[in-house]
Amino acid sequence: MDLATDYMGLSLRSPLVASASPASYTLDGVQRLADGGVAAIVLHSLFEEDLLEQAERHSALAEAGSESFAESLSYFPETAGADVEPRRYLKLVERSVAAVQVPVIASLNGASPGSWARYARQIQEAGAAGVELNLYSSPVGPATPGRWLEDAHLDVLGLVKAAVDVPVAVKMSPCYSSVAEMATRFIEAGADALVLFSRFVQPDIDPETLALVPGVGLSAPTEGRLPRTWVALLRPGARVPLALSTGTHSPEDLVKGLLAGADVVMSTSALLRHGPQYAAVLLDGLQAWMEGKGYDSVSQFRGLLAAPADGDARARERAGYVDALRAANAHQAGSW
């Protein structure tokens, strides 16, 4: 049975990819993910803030008269403080690439244009097969125009693309005013793949301590509906691979993502909850489903339930919305 898949120019043995998470924070974690059966690994994110702190530290040292050296693949400055995380990340990329037989994709998390984006070149030199650009921002100020934010995200993509030769995927937010238009703009700006979607940090409230509780919880299977919907809607017009991220907890979820039109389906929460070996459960379930339906390869059914290429996506989505409400109302009326 052929599970082979192409994603952002990479040939993968299956469509299951480990997305950025704490599971890939160490070399041991990366090796366990590869041994578990995933086809590619997106390392945990390196944040714009880490790189800006490093740049500020280097600038302060230079002003103080410290010696400076040109950075290269084999030299990572042995300085303390803010330099630790960027240096550690490059070493993790380098060691992971040497240790596993699946593609290793680095992840940069940022939102604003700046020199930090050129760090992608060092990630490429460390051996990463690609870069996933996680454009995360939460503009809460009423004076921040949506178009300004969108243009800033496109500028970041342009800087990263100019710095590297490896493919660059954009991990999109589901909160743009027009997701489809932004997808098109990212593709036109050079994105080699789109990942749908990033998850926003949503702090909770502790009524006992009267404090905000930060953190990102594991996803639920129902969260897969939103990215699946947009993958299905974008698939006909997208000229690049699409990755579905969030809500993949079972073999059925994996199948649903592929039927919607995803080139790869990413998993984080399921692998964290059940361990890296759960990748084999997901893939075994996919193969069992394919055998039951008579499919010999993933390509035979990928996108089977995507929006028709010649259809009106807006009308289709509106019709689905109306049908869902009618079904819910009928069910509620019948329960009385």
**Domains along the chain with CATH numbers:** 5-305 (3.20.20.70)
Residue 204: how many CB atoms within 10 A of its CB?
A: 11
Nearest to 196 by CA among 211, 175, 217: 175
Q: Assess contact for 93 and 100: CB atoms under 8 A.
A: no
What string of pLDDT tens digits covers the 336 residues of the chain?
A: 999 999 999 999 999 999 999 999 999 999 999 999 999 999 999 988 777 665 444 444 344 444 444 433 343 444 444 457 889 999 999 999 999 999 999 999 987 787 777 789 999 999 999 999 998 776 667 777 888 889 999 999 999 999 999 999 999 999 899 999 999 999 999 999 999 999 876 788 999 999 988 766 788 999 999 999 999 999 999 999 999 999 999 999 999 999 999 999 999 999 999 999 999 999 999 999 999 999 999 999 999 999 997 666 565 565 565 565 556 566 666 666
Q: Assess contact for 48 and 110: CB atoms under 8 A.
A: yes
Residue 270: DSSP 8-state: H
Grouping H, G, I as helix, E, B as strand and the rest as coil, residue 241 is: coil
Q: Assess contact for 138 and 170: CB atoms under 8 A.
A: no
